[in-house]
Amino acid sequence: MVAMPAGQDTLYGTVSVLRDPAYRRLWVSGLCSNMARWMDLVAVGWIALQMTGSPFMVAVAAFARSAPMMVLGPFAGIVADRVSRAHLLLVTQAGGAVIALAFLAMFAVDAAGYWRLVALEGAFGILWSLDFPARRTALFSMLGASRVAQAVSLETVSMQIAKMVGPVVPRSPPVSRRRSVSAGGSRARRRRARRRSSPRSRAASPPRGRARSRARSCSSRSR
């Protein structure tokens, strides 16, 4: 039997972990979750900036997403050790879907508000603080101590892929959204034109010819 070099042996051992169907499903779901997390982070920052116009409030919305991990992280690890990891992951993914539907409903009925946005981001952060340790502990129970290092390496790869791909998706708006933005701008210009041509605005602002004659008469009197 021909022995492989050390580097190739390590790479083969890392990739061979994906042959396990249970871990493969976990890895793909983690990749999708991480991509959705980065997409949400970029989209929420853009929406918060549009609502408030303040970079500080954008930072507050992002902090609401990461603060639960700092506060609940040590306790979430204890919860992940005491309960079933599969059930915990199922709860966190279902909760994330419910919050995403709440986002959709909030903007569909035109009831969006900044603090509602922050509250939903905080709920996302709580689910994330439970999902992260549950995934890590599931690797050990799924693959054993001999292959957990390779599994963690692949998890890091999926997080880096999601970090590169996820933020790019919200930056490319679809054609329909670009048309709606341009249509909204044209409607705003038409409203401003109607206001300027209304009788009230005409009465409030004198004609340009009268204003010029008054200015000339005032200058001749001062001379």
- Whether residue 172 is predicted with pLDDT greater than 70 in this model: the reply is no
Closest CA to 39 of 113, 129, 100: 100
Q: What mean pLDDT do residues 137-148 have?
A: 79
Which pTM value belongs to this model? Answer: 0.64
pLDDT at residue 213 in the model: 53
Q: Which residue in the block uniquely carries the two structure tokens 């008054």?
A: 214
Query: Can you give the residue ranges of every domain in the chain?
Result: 20-168
- Whether residue 123 is predicted with pLDDT greater than 60 in this model: the reply is yes
User: What distance in Å separates the CA atoms of residue 184 and residue 157, rounded to the nearest whole number?
Assistant: 42
Please give the share of the chain, as a percent, with pLDDT higher than 90. 14
218 burial level (CB within 10 Å; 0-12, 13-18, 19+): exposed
pLDDT at residue 33 in the model: 86
Q: Which residue in the block uniquely carries the two structure tokens 């992002």?
A: 62
**Encoded tokens for 182:** 């341009």
Provide the mean pLDDT of the chain: 75
Q: What mean pLDDT do residues 16-32 have?
A: 83
pLDDT at residue 176 in the model: 45
User: What distance in Å separates the CA atoms of residue 100 and residue 41, rounded to the nearest whole number?
Assistant: 13
- Whether residue 8 is predicted with pLDDT greater than 80 in this model: the reply is no
* Contact status, residue 150 vs residue 17, Cβ threshold 8 Å: yes
pLDDT band per the 50, 70, 90 thresholds, residue 120: very high
pLDDT at residue 3 in the model: 45
pLDDT digits (tens, 9 = 90+) for 67-115: 888 888 888 888 888 888 888 888 998 998 999 899 889 888 888 889 9
144: alpha, beta or left? (left if phi > 0; alpha if psi -120 to 50): left
pLDDT band per the 50, 70, 90 thresholds, residue 211: very low
